[in-house]
Structure 1
């Protein structure tokens, strides 16, 4: 099979397309003929040898990638035969192997892909959608809310804008540059603001006293500006801090206002015997029933390095997906 392999930590150009042996599923596992593989900001950190939230950097050489969708083409011992030939999507956890034509995972990680979802959309929902569902459970928007979504053209931001609009909230989406701002407006935001424009704080300040909820994956000066506009009792949910760089572990937080929702707390709130699966199912259901439509930025598998560079340089809109 063809796969993207990483032999040394470093820049995106270290990701190379190579021929390698086909993986074989072990007991309780399946093999997936991959049609779409998700690219995550964490992947760019692991490529550089940074651990981020992962238990450890990957062991080299490795095939990156932790989200795949495709068709089950082989079964390991003990796996229900009905999975063979099914359209499926799976998050591989911290196991690598997604940037490839074939990937192996445990059968209990699989979800059937609804017929009205393509593989790229399913990949977007199993990872990005899962996170979005985890975020909103901390602060469900409603008709009385004015919601600000920084990075509203990104994968999570796109879904948060749609979710808040569906709930009847007024939504202000922030994005960098006219093209991304236009996408945010087309996605349903009531106001789309270009935060690279010099007057963007003034445009946002026109809603002073009304902003009740900020879904913040950016941090830095953008967070400081938006949080300063929160009405009394307003909420600031932090799920990332991309403006502070991939090595940062210091999101912008205000005592009594901000809440960092990443980590174990998200899983505890989801509840149930398998909270990760609970959020995955919720995300896939929202997409299958037409309430959420993920934005997808597609690259051929061979252009994984270009996908990483674009993601790091904020040159993408929506979930980045590789297609073999």
Structure 2
């Protein structure tokens, strides 16, 4: 099979296209002929070696990639409900392996897109993230119908899944925030935000408006400023650290004064312990994406330009997601 492999930790240049043996599915797994693989910020962190000292994290050589779309190539023992040739999208179980023309997925993390009208590039870009957003909002943030939601980094791959899912779950208002240079693109997006504001001037831009749930994949100073725009009893959901500020801390005195809660959500840690939430989350995600509530900007590049994709991720030169496809 064709694959993009990280030969060592380092910059984007460590990525290269190689030929590897075709893998075979085991019991409870399927093999997917990959047409599209999503590029995520966590792929960049893995390639850089940011998590190299944590147990279970990938070490070179490895194939990055968390999510794929394609068609069923083969069924492992005990798998039913899917057919060879059926269009599917898969969430990763291991966090690697997606940048390849053949991918092995546990059937529990696979959703059929047959008859949905969802193009495979959009499916891989939006369905897994929307499923994770559903779990994050329902299980970690405990979003209730009629509550308001603020989403930082509003155009980011994971962040972009939250407005549509929040709408589906009954949110009364969804506002996004981005850096000043991204305001024009964010305000032109088809994502279902009520408005988008400058993340550097939250309090001023919101003019007293507060939120029940704040979704923060950015971290750093944005996370601190979030406390100023949270309603009493509000919940701050930390879902990433795109800012790269790994030393940031919150003042716990602000939490008790405002009766605020801060929760973290990492699907790689949460879903293996709570697998029963995966299927309903995927079903909800398919509904959101099919309804056009996750239609962000997509760029499609060949595997041979994976290094370029990672450079753009590092430069934050994106208004949406990058998806890779095997070279012809």
Q: Given the superposition, is the C-alpha separation of residues 119 and 55 from structure 1 closer, same or farther in structure 2, using an over 3 Å criterion?
A: farther
Distance (whole Å) between structure 2 residues aligned to residue 23 and residue 74 of structure 1: 10
Q: Spell out, residue by residue over 1:187-242, the C-alpha distance to the aligned partner (whole angstroms, 9 max, x if none).
A: 3433322336xxx3464241x15444322221221222232132333332222232
Does residue 192 of structure 1 match 2:196?
A: yes
TM-score (norm 2): 0.82
Distance (whole Å) between structure 1 residues aligned to residue 66 and residue 281 of structure 2: 17
The answer as to whether partners of 2:39 and 2:323 remain within 8 angstroms in 1 is: yes
User: What secondary structure, in the 3-state scheme, does the structure 2 residue paired with 1:173 have?
Assistant: strand
The answer as to whether partners of 2:174 and 2:193 remain within 8 angstroms in 1 is: yes
Distance (whole Å) between structure 2 residues aligned to residue 18 and residue 311 of structure 1: 22
Aligned to 2:97: 97
Distance (whole Å) between structure 1 residues aligned to residue 142 and residue 106 of structure 2: 33
User: What secondary structure, in the 3-state scheme, does the structure 2 residue paired with 1:226 have?
Assistant: helix
The answer as to whether partners of 1:54 and 1:94 remain within 8 angstroms in 2 is: no
Does residue 64 of structure 1 match 2:64?
A: yes
Aligned to 1:149: 151
Does residue 174 of structure 1 match 2:177?
A: yes
Aligned to 1:131: 132
Distance (whole Å) between structure 1 residues aligned to residue 134 and residue 105 of structure 2: 23
Aligned to 1:275: 277
The alpha carbon displacement at 1:34 in A equals 0.5
The match for 1:298 among 300, 303, 306 is 300
Distance (whole Å) between structure 2 residues aligned to residue 264 and residue 155 of structure 1: 14
The alpha carbon displacement at 1:267 in A equals 4.5
Q: Give the count of matched residue pairs.
A: 315
CA root-mean-square deviation:
3.2
Q: Which moved more, 1:168-177 or 1:48-57?
A: 48-57
Does residue 235 of structure 1 match 2:235?
A: yes
User: What secondary structure, in the 3-state scheme, does the structure 2 residue paired with 1:321 have?
Assistant: strand
Q: Given the superposition, is the C-alpha separation of residues 128 and 54 from structure 1 closer, same or farther in structure 2, using an over 3 Å criterion?
A: farther
Distance (whole Å) between structure 2 residues aligned to residue 164 and residue 58 of structure 1: 32
Does residue 122 of structure 1 match 2:126?
A: no
Distance (whole Å) between structure 2 residues aligned to residue 165 and residue 80 of structure 1: 33
Q: Which moved more, 1:108-117 or 1:291-300?
A: 291-300
Q: Given the superposition, is the C-alpha separation of residues 253 and 296 from structure 1 closer, same or farther in structure 2, using an over 3 Å criterion?
A: farther
Give the 5 Å matches for 1:203-242: 203-206=204-207, 208=208, 210-242=210-242
The answer as to whether partners of 1:36 and 1:120 remain within 8 angstroms in 2 is: yes
Does residue 74 of structure 1 match 2:77?
A: no
Distance (whole Å) between structure 2 residues aligned to residue 35 and residue 55 of structure 1: 31
Alignment gaps of 5+ in structure 2: none
Aligned to 1:18: 18
TM-score (norm 1): 0.83
Alignment gaps of 5+ in structure 1: none
The answer as to whether partners of 1:22 and 1:102 remain within 8 angstroms in 2 is: yes
Q: Spell out, residue by residue over 1:150-190, the C-alpha distance to the aligned partner (whole angstroms, 9 max, x if none).
A: 10111232232334456352333111244454334533433
The alpha carbon displacement at 1:249 in A equals 7.1
The alpha carbon displacement at 1:15 in A equals 0.4
Distance (whole Å) between structure 1 residues aligned to residue 319 and residue 296 of structure 2: 10
The answer as to whether partners of 1:141 and 1:164 remain within 8 angstroms in 2 is: no
Q: Which moved more, 1:110-119 or 1:51-60?
A: 51-60
